[in-house]
């Protein structure tokens, strides 16, 4: 696959999965704001949100690596999707602050980038290894 086509595939997957992660994050934020749960419930919601984000970013990395055949584009896709998610969710949090002490925006973006890039890169690398060992080629 030519590099331009691979970059377009990466961008498309980044926007699609970034949108799904935004929906999950905003849904979690809305539940936390509407129900005013106790600290245990907030922790459980945050854990569920983290797990959902890691799963979605892992799927993103594997899909990009399998379609493009270039595993490092999986990390780029995770980075792009996490930046998109971070900007939208930080903007929403600034308009309707969450209950409790809010994390500074720069720390939130850094955490979000790490949560998005690392699982996408690892799953992209594993998907590339599986494709090479099994002898399949993307296409």
Tell the burial category of 17 from Cβ atoms under 10 Å away from its Cβ (0-12, 13-18, 19+).
Answer: buried
Q: Is the pLDDT of residue 138 over 60?
A: no
Q: What is the mean pLDDT of residues 43-71?
A: 92
pLDDT at 69: 87
CA distance linking residue 8 with residue 1, whole number of Å: 11
pLDDT at 136: 63
Rg (CA), the chain: 16
Q: Tens digits of per-residue pLDDT, 5-38?
A: 999 999 999 999 999 999 999 998 888 877 766 7
pLDDT at 79: 95
pLDDT at 56: 96
User: What percent of the chain stands above pLDDT 90?
Assistant: 54
Q: Tens digits of per-residue pLDDT, 66-98?
A: 999 888 999 999 999 999 999 998 888 888 777
Of 2-16, 23-37, 48-62, 111-125, least confident by mean pLDDT is 23-37
pLDDT at 66: 92
């Amino acid at each position: 696959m030519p590099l331009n086509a691979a970059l377009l595939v990466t961008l498309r997957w980044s926007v699609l999965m970034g949108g799904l992660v935004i929906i999950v994050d905003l849904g979690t934020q809305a539940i936390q704001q509407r129900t005013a749960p106790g600290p245990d419930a907030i922790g459980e919601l945050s854990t569920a949100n983290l797990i959902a984000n890691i799963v979605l970013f892992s799927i993103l990395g594997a899909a990009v690596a399998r379609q493009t055949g270039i595993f490092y584009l999986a990390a780029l896709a995770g980075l792009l999707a996490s930046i998109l998610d971070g900007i939208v969710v930080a903007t929403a949090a600034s308009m309707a602050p969450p209950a409790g002490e809010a994390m500074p925006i720069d720390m939130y973006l850094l955490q979000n980038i790490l949560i998005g890039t690392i699982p996408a890169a690892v799953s992209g690398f594993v998907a590339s290894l599986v494709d090479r060992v099994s002898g399949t080629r993307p296409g």
